[in-house]
């Protein structure tokens, strides 16, 4: 079997979980909407041996070691160093009693909106022997994320990382949790550009979730609302103007995700790019999750010859932008390729 690393001890097992970039469909997952991410060729790998009744992990990327006695007792959100919270929360979620000792390596930048935490959760789950479907893994990892951070995130990141298949982006209906695989064309570069570190802990992410819930009290499920429905509640003043804008983003973003997936499948890169840029404007103007630095990066990228479109990606308030471009276009970012989801090596 070809090896993609240095020679290693055959008694040790390895699991690998990729990061993800969201091509379009942000802040739609927690209202059961549509998202269109892809797993990328940046990953977190755990090399380990099953041993004892503790999870002992060191990390090349983050400081400190963690040593978590099993079964997990106490609040995972208080574990130090902080990356250990995801490990403890996942072990707790699985009710793990058999431990492991190992080492984490990762080239997913943390705090960049590329789902390093969801990758860690999914990798830890497999290392601890998780046995179930991709959806079950994503749901367990989402609960672990909530326990570790207290942020009420949706399921996009974990489901992309658990379910992705090589060469494809993943169209997810976050209500049914149905997944459709859409090939990413070879004649299209997907480019990611880092803008600024951020954390969703203590950000306005939870406020956005609450604002969408408020909109749903007036409109019913946003996933089945139309732009006319949103205009109607606004005209009747049945919903405050801020929640109207949040609802308008979600409703129009769901429509853009479908149109984008169709454009990508049809090879219409120009229309796909137009939809990405429209998505960015909606996140900037209606959802208030962009920043001036992200806006500037998107504008620069979108104005570059060969670039079809660009947008902020993920939770926002910093992180990365994503662009699609003709192959080889110099964009200042790095090209990412669609890879398979979490797996044992
Ligand atoms: C973060 C969350 C996801 C999703 C995005 C925004 O990545 O973890 O669930 O809500 O933000 O689309």
Q: How far is C-alpha 186 from the chain's CA centre?
A: 23
DSSP secondary structure letters along 272-324: HHHHHHHHHHHHHHTS----HHHHHHHHHHHTSTTEEEEEEETT-SSEEEEEE
How many angstroms does the Cα of residue 200 sit away from the middle of ligand 1?
A: 9
Q: State residue 283's pLDDT score.
A: 98
- The predicted-structure confidence for 257-300, as pLDDT tens digits, reads as follows 999 999 999 999 999 999 999 999 999 999 999 999 999 999 99
Helix/strand/coil for 108? coil
**What is Dmax (Cα atoms) for the chain?**
68
Distance 290 CA to ligand 1 centre (A): 13
pLDDT the model gives residue 61: 75
Q: What are the CA-CA distances from residue 92 to residues 75, 122, 140, 290 (Å)?
A: 9, 13, 10, 34
Q: State pLDDT tens for residues 143-183.
A: 999 999 999 999 999 999 999 999 999 999 999 999 999 99
Q: What is the mean pLDDT of the segment spanning 119-130?
A: 98
Whether 22 contacts 321, CB under 8 Å: no
- The CA distance from 22 to 156, in Å, is 9
Nearest CA to ligand 1 atom 11: 315
Decide if 157 is catalytic: yes
Query: Are 107 and 42 contacting, i.e. CB atoms less than 8 angstroms apart?
Result: yes
Model's pTM, two decimal places? 0.96
- Contacts (Cβ under 8 Å, ≥6 apart) of 221: 31, 32, 175
What is the tens place of the pLDDT at every residue in 196-239? 999 898 889 999 999 999 999 999 999 999 999 999 999 999 99
pLDDT score at 10: 61
Q: Are 14 and 47 in contact (CB under 8 A)?
A: yes
Q: Which of 65, 73, 131, 157 is catalytic?
A: 157
Ligand 1 pocket: which residues have CB below 6 Å? Answer: 22, 26-27, 29-30, 153-154, 156-157, 314-315
The encoded tokens of residue 22 equal 């969201």
Concatenate the DSSP letters of all residues of 205-247 into one string: HHHHHHHHHHHHHHHS-GGG--HHHHHHHHHTT-S-HHHHHHH
Residue % of the chain over a pLDDT of 70? 97
**The two three-digit tokens of residue 303, written as one number:** 């104005």
CA distance 314 to 112: 9
The protein residue whose alpha carbon is closest to atom 1 in ligand 1 is 315
Write out pLDDT tens, residues 126-146.
999 999 999 999 999 999 999
Please identify, by atom number, the ligand 1 atom nearest to the C-alpha of residue 30. 10
Instruction: Return phi, psi of residue 173, to 5°.
Output: -90, 110
Categorize the per-residue pLDDT at 64 as very low, low, confident or very high, splitting at 50, 70 and 90: confident
Q: What does each C-alpha distance from 119 to 59, 152, 244, 292, 317 come to in angstroms? A: 14, 17, 34, 28, 20
Structure tokens of 44? 């977190």
Ligand 1 atom nearest 118 alpha carbon: 8
């Amino acid at each position: 079997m070809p090896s993609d690393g240095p020679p290693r001890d055959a008694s040790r097992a390895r699991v690998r979980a990729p990061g993800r970039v969201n091509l379009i469909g942000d802040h739609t997952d927690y209202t059961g909407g549509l998202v269109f991410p892809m797993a990328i060729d940046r990953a977190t790998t755990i090399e380990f041996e099953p041993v004892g009744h503790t999870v002992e992990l060191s990390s090349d990327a983050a400081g400190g070691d963690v040593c978590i006695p099993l079964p997990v007792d106490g609040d995972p959100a208080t574990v130090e160093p902080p990356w250990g919270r995801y490990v403890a929360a996942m072990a707790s979620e699985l009710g793990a009693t058999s431990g492991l000792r190992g080492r984490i390596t990762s080239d997913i930048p943390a705090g960049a909106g590329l789902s390093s935490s969801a990758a860690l959760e999914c990798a830890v789950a497999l290392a601890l022997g998780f046995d179930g479907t991709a959806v079950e893994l994503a749901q367990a990892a989402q609960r672990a994320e909530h326990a570790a951070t207290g942020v009420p995130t949706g399921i996009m990141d974990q489901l992309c990382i658990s379910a992705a298949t090589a060469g494809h982006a993943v169209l997810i209906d976050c209500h049914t949790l149905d997944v459709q695989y859409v090939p990413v064309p070879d004649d299209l570069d997907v480019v990611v550009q880092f803008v600024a570190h951020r954390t969703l802990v203590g950000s306005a992410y939870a406020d956005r979730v609450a604002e969408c819930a408020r909109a749903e009290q007036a409109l019913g499920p946003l996933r089945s609302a139309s732009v006319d429905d949103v205009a109607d509640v606004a005209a009747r003043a049945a919903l405050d103007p801020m929640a109207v804008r949040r609802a308008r983003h979600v409703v129009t973003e769901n429509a853009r995700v479908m149109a984008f997936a169709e454009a990508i499948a049809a090879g219409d890169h120009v229309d796909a790019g137009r939809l990405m840029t429209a998505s960015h404007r909606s996140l900037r103007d209606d959802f208030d999750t962009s920043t001036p630095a992200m806006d500037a990066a998107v504008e620069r990228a979108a104005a570059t010859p060969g670039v079809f479109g660009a947008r902020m990606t993920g939770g926002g308030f910093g992180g990365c932008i994503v662009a699609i471009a003709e192959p080889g276009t110099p964009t200042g970012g790095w090209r990412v390729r669609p890879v398979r989801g979490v797996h044992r090596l």
